[in-house]
Amino acid sequence: MIKFDQAKNILLVKEEQETLFDEDFLRKRIEFWRNIYYKEKNIKRANFRKKVYNGIYRIREGIYPITVHRPTFSSLNPIDKTYIRTYRMIIRGIMNYSISLMKILMKASGKDLGYSLVEKGAVKSIEDLPKIFLKQKIGLLDIVSESFNTMKINLYECMSCYGTSYIGIALCDFEAGVIEGVLEKLYGKNTTIEKYCWGLGYHFCGFESYFE
Q: Answer with the residue of higher pLDDT: 180 or 99.
A: 180
pTM of the model: 0.82
Q: What is the 3-state secondary structure (H, E, C) of 125-162?
A: CHHHHHHHHHHCCCCEEEEEEECCCEEEEEEECCCCCC
Q: Are 59 and 49 in contact (CB under 8 A)?
A: no
Closest CA to 65 of 37, 87, 49: 87
> What's the CATH architecture for 23-211?
2-Layer Sandwich (3.30)
Q: What does the domain layout of the chain look like in residue ranges?
A: 23-211
Q: Are 12 and 4 in contact (CB under 8 A)?
A: yes
**pLDDT of res. 126:** 93
Closest CA to 131 of 121, 120, 119, 141: 141
Q: Give the mean pLDDT of 146-150.
A: 91
**pLDDT of res. 167:** 82
